[in-house]
Amino acid sequence: MTNHYDFTIITNTDVAGMSLVVAQNEDAFSYITQEEEFGYFQDGSVPLSTDRISRFIVDAEQAQLSAALV
């Protein structure tokens, strides 16, 4: 059985203390840009301080969205 996640969170980036959140579907992208009001790069990824990842996951789960850390 394959798991499908709404977000992929990339924690290993070139910038220390910074992660990238990548929406995997339109609902997830709408949530992160409209509900959370985060800005995003041209590729659609959202920079997020590593310190805020756990709170983001909790908030996303409350919105019935799931995330995978990679």
Give the pLDDT confidence score for residue 4 in this predicted structure.
92
CA distance 48 to 17: 9
Local structure of 69: helix, strand or coil? strand
For residue 61, the surrounding DSSP H or E stretch is helix 53-62
Domain coordinates in residue numbering, the chain:
7-69
DSSP-assigned beta bridge partners for residue 19: 48
pLDDT, tens digit, for every residue of 7-64? 999 999 999 999 999 999 999 999 999 999 999 999 999 999 999 999 999 999 999 9
Residue 5 has pLDDT above 80, yes or no: yes
